[in-house]
Structure 1
Amino acid sequence: MSEPAFYTRVDEDTYDSTPATASPWDESLQHGGPPAALLATAIEATRPDEPDFPIARITVDMLGGIPQGRMRTEVDVTRPGKRVELVEARLHVDDRVAVSATAWRIRQPPGSTQEHAAAPLDLPPLPDEQPQEFFPGTSPEWGYGRAVDWRFVTGGYAAPGPASLWTRLRIPLVEGEPTSPIARMLVVADSANGLSGELPLAEWLFIPPTLSVTVLRAPQDEWLWFDAHSTIGPHGRGLAQATLADRAGLVAVVAQPLLVAPR
């Protein structure tokens, strides 16, 4: 991967995208994952000294194609609170809001429910490095695809249907800066639909205008277990869902409504 990161920082709230953010269908647009992670990072920055007040649910709305180029984030705490708080964030591109997000924070007193916590999951071992094969017709140089390490246990980008895999980022979200565990997760969470499409992507459109991730806890490791499936309804709609986990147990659940239509 030749790109150093998904974004380079210009100033406190302004960034330039790199080709690592590229959509598989149009290199002039961004995949939804990196912008979602950038907004999560902006939201986390409103409480930089309070690690025990993390994001518990984030919903990211893509308000059309997300252009490559220079972009600016802004954040408002719309419902402050000591134990529960609502934050809104927006990503501006070319003087318009291209992506918006709302996030609930829930305070987590460390260890307060440890004796009742779910047990670790029995997950498959991490496969050896695999050839990175993407959607049929997609360039092997696809920026976002190459910026992530995809190691499938079942399914695959080129195979319609459910998929399960281990995944991690190869590059940071912002050049020269650490990527938070929640941001690492958001970069890949928007791939639930693409990983588990039930119909051939050369013949069908699956458009997810929004992404909702409900978080049990932050991932503890760079490798994330991703188990995704999609369901097609009878009236041109679908639902993509995914479970995200690590060796310590469940991390989050993902849901995306889909517009399903012939190309």
Structure 2
Amino acid sequence: MIECLYRRIGADGEYTVFESTDGTRSNWDPQIQHGSPPLALLTRAIEDLAEGTGLRVGRLTLDILGAIPVTTVHVRSWVERPGSRISLMAAEMLVDRPDGTRRAVARVTAWLLAPSDTADAVTDRHPPLIEGEASTVAHAWEGAPGYLEAVSWRRQQDQDGAAVAWLSPLVPLVDSEPTTALQRLAMVVDSANGIGAALDPQRFLFMNTDTAVHLHRLPEGQDFAVRARGSIGPDGIGVTTAELFDRNGFIGTSAQTLLVQRLG
């Protein structure tokens, strides 16, 4: 039974050490992690680093630097560009090599900005999404163990060529510790590639190398809608873009670069 995505082990110098659980296992390969858990854990590290600064996240970008094994991971964060109004922060995840050295497998960079009152100038490009009846088939990886067991995935009727799903994390990110709404969004947003799949996963592999999330409003709650579209180029490279929503409406966008390979 999956109870959380990571378990906190302790500290090792500047690193916080976590054990990855079965809830991080990818639907592509159970030996590696799905992109959302590392994104969420590194987002957590950035939120911890930003505490007390008065800044809030406007953009998160995950770069997957290599296959992320389901193992013990080391996480650290730092301020790349300090500032009272605009700051760039970063966090990375490392794993041990067989020879005892470590390699970085994922990195998140985040632009944080100083909030101000613009309530009288609010604009949303998209109206709120209302959750409807879920499809009987949630996704193309039905029955895959691991990460997909840790998320409620409610596929909706497609809209104007875009695929829509409401997603909700079913477990905490770390042990039984509180999980913020931004971390909960990060726990599901990397799934946009699967939601907006333009190819049959039985015939093609289409894994993302990154996930970039832009937020004009911080997310609220624990239920998020992803309206995604996939585009595949002629030379094995694709892109998935998505609009993101919480129960109160449109919150931002995401984009992912895809490596596309024919199977068999």
- 1:96 pairs with 95, 103, 119, which one? 103
Query: In 2 relative to 1, CA 132–35 (structure 1 residues): closer, same or farther, beyond 3 Å?
Result: farther
Which ranges of structure 1 fall in alignment gaps of 5 or more residues? 156-160
Provide Cα deviations, 1:146-199, integer angstroms capped at 9, x if missing partner: 1111111125xxxxx741021111111111111111111111111111111111
Q: Give the counterpart letter for 2:70 in structure 1.
A: Q
Matches within 5 A, 1:57-72: 57-72=59-74
Query: In 2 relative to 1, CA 130–237 (structure 1 residues): closer, same or farther, beyond 3 Å?
Result: closer
Equivalent-residue separation in structure 2 for 1:18 and 1:131 (angstroms): 28
Would the aligned equivalents of 1:229 and 1:241 in 2 still touch at CA under 8 Å? yes
Task: Name the SS of the counterpart of 1:44 in structure 2.
Answer: helix
Q: Give the counterpart letter for 2:145 in structure 1.
A: W
- 1:45 pairs with 22, 44, 48, which one? 48
For structure 1, which segment, 161-170 or 32-41, has the greater mean C-alpha deviation from structure 2 after superposition?
Answer: 161-170
Query: In 2 relative to 1, CA 108–129 (structure 1 residues): closer, same or farther, beyond 3 Å?
Result: same
Matches within 5 A, 1:1-263: 2-12=1-11, 13-50=16-53, 52-94=54-96, 95-109=102-116, 112-118=117-123, 122-127=127-132, 133-135=138-140, 138=141, 140-155=143-158, 162-263=162-263
Query: In 2 relative to 1, CA 130–164 (structure 1 residues): closer, same or farther, beyond 3 Å?
Result: closer
Moved beyond 3 Å, runs of 4+:
119-125, 127-134
Q: CA deviation at 1:122?
A: 4.1
Equivalent-residue separation in structure 1 for 2:209 and 2:29 (angstroms): 16
Q: CA deviation at 1:235?
A: 2.5
Equivalent-residue separation in structure 2 for 1:58 and 1:124 (angstroms): 23
Q: CA deviation at 1:47?
A: 2.0
Provide Cα deviations, 1:63-122, integer angstroms capped at 9, x if missing partner: 11100111010111011000000112110111211101211101112xx10011125964
Would the aligned equivalents of 1:30 and 1:67 in 2 still touch at CA under 8 Å? yes
Task: Name the SS of the counterpart of 1:81 in structure 2.
Answer: coil
For structure 1, which segment, 55-64 or 243-252, has the greater mean C-alpha deviation from structure 2 after superposition?
Answer: 243-252
Equivalent-residue separation in structure 1 for 2:260 and 2:253 (angstroms): 22
The two structures, once aligned, show a CA RMSD in angstroms of 1.9
Identity %: 33
Paired residues in the alignment total: 252
Which ranges of structure 2 fall in alignment gaps of 5 or more residues? 97-101
For structure 1, which segment, 117-126 or 198-207, has the greater mean C-alpha deviation from structure 2 after superposition?
Answer: 117-126
Query: In 2 relative to 1, CA 120–249 (structure 1 residues): closer, same or farther, beyond 3 Å?
Result: farther
Task: Name the SS of the counterpart of 1:46 in structure 2.
Answer: helix
Equivalent-residue separation in structure 1 for 2:126 and 2:29 (angstroms): 38
